[in-house]
Amino acid sequence: MSWQKKPPRISGNFIVDGTLEAKHIKATTITADKFSGAVEEEYWAYISDKDVSFAYSGYTTALEFTFPKTDLEIFKGRHVHYCGEAEMNTGTSTQYDGFLFLRLEAEVPSVQASTIIGDAKHLVTSGSYQLVYFDGNLATNRIGSGGSIGTLGGNYRTYRKLSYDPKGAQGSELVTNGAFNSGTANWTVGAGGHSSGYGAYSVTSDVTNNGFTYQAITTVVGEKYQVTGNIVNGVANGEIRITSAPNLDSESQIATSTVYTGSQAVDFEFTATSTTTYIVLKASGTSAGQSVGFDNIVCKQYLRRTYLELSTTGGAIVNTDGSTAVSLYYHPYSGASSGTYQVVDNYTQKTRTKAYTNFFRFQTEAYIGWFNDDIKLRLTCLNQIAFGKTVTLNDVKIFMQSRIVE
């Protein structure tokens, strides 16, 4: 009997420790369909011909709906966008100035989940808020509209001014002896020569009319860096290069200050392509022995940061010493009682009516946060446009989107 090879298959849980690429999944399999669904899902709800009477207070529920739990119960960013049209017949030529208020509210579940944001450090306190930061860009997709920030056990605080800055701070100096206070130390001649005296450093061209020195620095692939320095007036032209190898080959060049004649302060950026990067100081002359000076060579990595202002009402929850990190969590319901509703997003539209029949459109959206469960929502409305007049909400479309976020 001949041996036959059976097609490979997986039975049971499939655990990937590493990267699963598209080439590993057949497009015709159920698995592939599941992966497509798990990346992004879209749903919608609809309401029309909903009357909302004038009221001084108390919102009218326009529609209750559920944002379905995610495919494969994967944690995803949950977005809600809604738009529609409001109609009002005033029955008169009199103009009215008023407001239409819309709210997106979420029902508090019996078990309230919290989402880890990351480790925060204190920067400064201003009034009743403290400014904290997270390394990287984790917070902006972990925090939703409404809710609060706190520790794992609670300590709920409101927040404001959530923002991400890819150049929020800079790391330590990577260049050794960039001010040349130690002469030519740490700089290697690649061609021509170099010299130093009285805090000045110069590179001299060789018989090919070029000279250069270099220094290797340790970098992180994909990260962005800033280079600054001074080219000091000389006979030769000066240039600061960033390269992947200690040479002047065009294939090695990553970035350059461009070539300057005379004194020039330089400031440019590059993105690292390897773990070892070279800073090259180049002299371009018209003959051998021509020099140009360099000084104050600095290279620092940009550090990505997310900034958040937290209320200090009840006390600061991040240590104000600036060095101790505190793990913070997003609490979408802030510990409210199960079955009650929490406001996720507010929308206010001011309007002035015209004679008799009026139409006006509205649209807004909210980012609810990073969840995987069903979310019961409702859209509510408060009509304060004209006393005794009714607004009719028509063609209101509510779009729900779940997307995988890092």
Task: Based on the fold, state whether residues 263 and 344 are members of the same structural domain.
Answer: no
Task: Based on the fold, state whether residues 355 and 399 are members of the same structural domain.
Answer: yes
8 part of a folded domain: no
pLDDT of residue 36 exceeding 80: no
204 part of a folded domain: yes
pLDDT of residue 12 exceeding 60: no
pLDDT of residue 235 exceeding 80: yes
**Mean pLDDT on 217-246:** 96
Strand partners, 197: 200
Lookup: tokens for 145:
């509209």
150 part of a folded domain: no
Task: Based on the fold, state whether residues 192 and 325 are members of the same structural domain.
Answer: yes
Task: Based on the fold, state whether residues 171 and 198 are members of the same structural domain.
Answer: yes
Give 193's contacts (C-beta < 8 A, 6+ positions apart): 203, 204, 206, 211
How sure is the predictor about 19, in pLDDT bands with cuts at 50, 70 and 90?
low
pLDDT of residue 368 exceeding 50: yes
Strand partners, 249: none
**Mean pLDDT on 97-109:** 94
291 part of a folded domain: yes
Question: CA–CA separation, 225 vs 197, rounded Å?
Answer: 29
Task: Based on the fold, state whether residues 382 and 289 are members of the same structural domain.
Answer: no
145 part of a folded domain: no
How sure is the predictor about 30, in pLDDT bands with cuts at 50, 70 and 90?
very low
CATH of the domain at 258: 2.60.120.260
Sheet holding 188-191, edge to edge: 188-191, 210-218, 276-284, 237-243, 253-256
Q: Which of 271, 304, 331 is the last residue of a domain?
A: 331
Model pLDDT, residue 13: 59
Task: Based on the fold, state whether residues 257 and 326 are members of the same structural domain.
Answer: yes
Task: Give percent above pLDDT 70 in the chain.
Answer: 90
Task: Based on the fold, state whether residues 270 and 288 are members of the same structural domain.
Answer: yes
pLDDT of residue 398 exceeding 90: yes
* pLDDT 10s digits, 48-92: 999 999 999 999 999 999 999 998 888 889 999 999 999 999 889
Model pLDDT, residue 115: 86
Model pLDDT, residue 230: 96
Model pLDDT, residue 14: 58
142 part of a folded domain: no
DSSP string, 111-177: S---EEEEEEEEEEEETTEEEEEEESS-GGGT--SS-EEEETTEEEE-EEEEEEEEEEEE-----SS
User: b/e per residue, 333-360, with b = 16+ CB within 10 A?
Assistant: bbebeeeebeebbebebebebeeeebee
Task: Based on the fold, state whether residues 317 and 170 are members of the same structural domain.
Answer: yes
Model pLDDT, residue 34: 47
Task: Based on the fold, state whether residues 246 and 361 are members of the same structural domain.
Answer: no
Model pLDDT, residue 33: 47
pLDDT of residue 37 exceeding 70: no
CATH of the domain at 104: 2.60.120
**Mean pLDDT on 325-334:** 91
5 part of a folded domain: no
* pLDDT 10s digits, 116-142: 899 999 999 999 999 999 998 876 788
Q: Which of 331, 362, 391 is the last residue of a domain?
A: 331
Task: Quote the number of domains for the chain.
Answer: 2
| Mean pLDDT over the full length of the chain | 89
Q: Which of 309, 331, 353 is the last residue of a domain?
A: 331
**Mean pLDDT on 281-292:** 95
Model pLDDT, residue 336: 87
Task: Based on the fold, state whether residues 364 and 306 are members of the same structural domain.
Answer: no
Task: Based on the fold, state whether residues 75 and 206 are members of the same structural domain.
Answer: no
pLDDT of residue 389 exceeding 90: yes
Task: Based on the fold, state whether residues 236 and 277 are members of the same structural domain.
Answer: yes
11 part of a folded domain: no
Tell me whether residue 322 is exposed, middle or buried, using C-beta atoms within 10 angstroms of its C-beta: 0 to 12, 13 to 18, 19 or more.
exposed
Model pLDDT, residue 105: 95
Question: CA–CA separation, 302 vs 217, rounded Å?
Answer: 15
Which range of residues forms the domain containing residue 192? 115-132+165-331
Q: Which residue has the higher pLDDT, 297 or 355?
A: 297
Residue 251, helix vs strand vs coil: helix
**Mean pLDDT on 254-271:** 95
**Mean pLDDT on 148-160:** 90
